[in-house]
Amino acid sequence: MPHFRYSELPPGNDRTRLLRLLPNEDNTAPIKCQLLNYSLQKNRNGAHLYDALSYVWGTSAKSQVIYIEDGEFKVNQNLHSALRRLRDPTFERILWVDAICINQGDDKEKERQIQAMGKIYAGANQVVVWLGNEADESNEAMKSIRAKAAGSYGVSEDGNININDAALSKLCERSWFRRIWVVQEVGLARNIRVLCGSAEVAGHAFGLALRADRNPTVRAMGRNMGEAIFRPQCGIYPLAQLSLVELIDIYHTHEASLRHDKIYALLGMSSDGSSAKDLLPNYNLPWEELFTRLIKYALGETVSVRIGEDKDTAMIQAKGWVLGRVHEVQRSSHNRQILSIYFTGECFWTTKRQHDIRVTVWTVRDSARDIRKGDLVCQVQGAPEPTIIRHCDYHFDIILLKTTCIGSKSFPPEYKLPMQARPARNLYLVWSWKQSSTNTDSFASTTSGTFPAIDQMLWDTNLILHDAADNAKSAKQAYFHVAEMLLVFEQKLKYHHPKTQLAVYGLAMLNAACPGVSPRLYVSQILNDMFPNRELRDKLGYYYNRWRYWDDKRFVTGNLGSPYFSKDKFEQLIAKIEDGKKHDWHPFTTFH
What contacts 46, CB < 8 A, 6 or more positions away? Answer: 233, 234
Whole-number pLDDT of residue 97: 97
CA distance 564 to 281: 52
Instruction: Give the residue, 300 or 555, on which the prediction is more confident.
Output: 300
CA distance 421 to 345: 10
Q: At 354, is the pLDDT very low, low, confident or very high (cuts 50, 70, 90)?
A: very low
Whole-number pLDDT of residue 214: 65
Long-range contacts of 535-543 (CB under 8 A, 24+ apart): 535/576, 536/573, 536/576, 536/581, 536/584, 536/585, 539/569, 539/572, 539/573, 540/502, 540/505, 540/506, 540/509, 540/573, 543/506, 543/569
CA distance 443 to 429: 9
324: three-class secondary structure by DSSP? strand
498-549 residue pLDDT tens: 445 554 454 444 443 343 344 444 555 555 555 555 665 565 555 444 444 3
- Measure CA 532 to chain center: 44
For the cut 60, the answer to whether the pLDDT of residue 439 exceeds it is no
CB 426 within 8 A of CB 317: yes
Neighbours of 32 (CB within 10 A): 16
For the cut 90, the answer to whether the pLDDT of residue 106 exceeds it is yes
Angstrom distances, CA of residue 96 to CA of 49, 101, 215, 367: 10, 6, 30, 31
Give the rounded percent of residues in the chain with a pLDDT score beyond 90. 33
Report DSSP state, residue 420.
Answer: H
- Poorest-pLDDT segment among 89-103, 177-191, 372-386, 471-485: 471-485
Which regions of 211-312 does DSSP assign to beta strands (E)?
A: 304-307
The angle subtended at Cα 185 by Cα 182 and Cα 187, nearest 5°, is 95
10-54 residue pLDDT tens: 888 889 999 999 999 999 999 999 999 999 886 556 679 999 999
List 426's β-bridge partners, or say none.
Answer: 319
Whole-number pLDDT of residue 577: 45
Which regions of 332-358 does DSSP assign to beta strands (E)?
A: 336-343
Rounded to two decimals, what is the model's pTM? 0.75
Whole-number pLDDT of residue 208: 78
Q: At 359, is the pLDDT very low, low, confident or very high (cuts 50, 70, 90)?
A: confident
Strands 63-68 and 32-39: parallel
Whole-number pLDDT of residue 582: 43
242-285 residue pLDDT tens: 899 999 998 888 888 889 999 999 988 888 877 888 999 999 99
CA distance 430 to 448: 15
203 burial level (CB within 10 Å; 0-12, 13-18, 19+): buried
Instruction: Give the residue, 400 or 209, on which the prediction is more confident.
Output: 400
Whole-number pLDDT of residue 151: 63
CA distance 424 to 322: 9
Number of residues that this document lists for the chain: 592
Cα distance from N-terminal residue to C-terminal residue, the chain: 74
